[in-house]
Amino acid sequence: MLECKGMKSHELFAELSSESRLAILKALEKESLTFTRLTNTINATSPEAARQLNRLFKSSLISKDSEGCYSLTSLGRLVVSSIPNLEIIAQKSDFFLHHDTSAIPPHLLRELDAFEEAEEVHGVFTVVNRTTQLLEEMHEYAWYLTDDFPHFFMPLIKKKLNEGVNFRVISPWKFGEGFLSEDLLSGLPEKLLKAIEIRYIDELRIIVNINDRFGMLALPGPDGKIDRDYVLIGYGSRFKDWCKGVFEYYFKASRRC
């Protein structure tokens, strides 16, 4: 029976700092493997595989049964489940280095691996052109958690409202009087006005646009202001669901006028 007296965080990180050890853990996440099959799976020499297995065994991340099969311990399985989050943070380290993530709901910070489906888009004009093109392609719903709603988007929004697209908007309260004002909504029939659900929140430090076509995330930059020049846009269902989770989190905290 394995005994684990606990380890320091830096000790755990040390065990994850080897590409070979990570490969072993990921291979064992799928199934238990014999030494030979494991060595072939990670494409390592026998001495190298044995050395790395010994380290993981001593760290109580893996175990070995009476038939010689290696498998993850419950601790190892928990650690492996956290690896995708760390990997995406590493892959998008430049984005995270220059943006404040504190406005992201805590439970969704543990699901950043959804960002694997998102691309980093630079430049405000590129962002506007990309989102305008994608908005043309939406057909079901469009939810906005934002502190800004450019006038030039309104003709497209009116068109989509006429097509039956469901719109939800959350904006900061201090901006509420000017947000989707009578001037901005001029010309919209009463029926279409009622189709836009507008809610308010005291403070907003994150932007999320989510619809059936894509999800977009913008966070504060080093100056504390939301950075619209460097955003994440993704089309995959996992990233869209992640963005939807952010919107729903703030939707619950918002209120009607």
Which of 170, 155, 148 lies closest to 228 in space, CA to CA? 148
Kindly state whether residues 39 and 161 are assigned to the same domain.
no
At residue 237, the pLDDT reads 95
Kindly state whether residues 130 and 229 are assigned to the same domain.
yes
Beta strands 166-172 and 196-201, pairing class: parallel
Kindly state whether residues 191 and 238 are assigned to the same domain.
yes
Give the model's confidence band at 137: pLDDT under 50 very low, under 70 low, under 90 confident, else very high: confident
Q: Would you give the DSSP letter of residue 144?
A: E
Asked, for residue 3, whether it belongs to a domain, the answer is: no
Which of 1, 2, 31, 25 lies closest to 12 in space, CA to CA? 25
pLDDT in tens, 100-121: 999 999 999 999 999 999 999 9
At residue 178, the pLDDT reads 44
Other Cβ atoms less than 10 A from the Cβ of 161: the count is: 19
In this predicted structure, the answer to whether residue 210 has a pLDDT above a threshold of 60 is yes
Kindly state whether residues 113 and 224 are assigned to the same domain.
yes
- What gap in Å lies between CA 229 and CA 50, rounded to an integer? 49
Per the document, the length of the chain is 257
Asked, for residue 1, whether it belongs to a domain, the answer is: no
Kindly state whether residues 112 and 227 are assigned to the same domain.
yes
Is residue 109 classed as helix, strand or coil in its secondary structure? helix
Domain that residue 170 falls in: 92-253
Residues 6+ apart with CB under 8 A from 88: 112, 113, 115, 116
Is 59:86 a contact under the CB 8 Å cutoff? no
- What gap in Å lies between CA 13 and CA 11, rounded to an integer? 5
Tell me the C-alpha to C-alpha distance, in Å, between residue 113 and each of 72, 212, 238.
21, 20, 9
Kindly state whether residues 57 and 142 are assigned to the same domain.
no
Asked, for residue 195, whether it belongs to a domain, the answer is: yes
Which of 27, 50, 83 represents a domain boundary (last residue)? 83
At residue 182, the pLDDT reads 47
Is 197:184 a contact under the CB 8 Å cutoff? no
Predicted TM-score (pTM) of the model is 0.79
Which of 71, 8, 9, 6 lies closest to 34 in space, CA to CA? 71
Asked, for residue 2, whether it belongs to a domain, the answer is: no
Strand partners of residue 197: 168
pLDDT in tens, 6-65: 677 778 888 888 999 999 999 999 999 999 999 999 999 999 999 999 999 999 999 999
Residues 6+ apart with CB under 8 A from 41: 23, 27, 33
Kindly state whether residues 72 and 160 are assigned to the same domain.
no
Kindly state whether residues 78 and 101 are assigned to the same domain.
no
Which of 83, 106, 140 represents a domain boundary (last residue)? 83
At residue 188, the pLDDT reads 59
Other Cβ atoms less than 10 A from the Cβ of 35: the count is: 15
At residue 169, the pLDDT reads 87
Domain total in the chain: 2
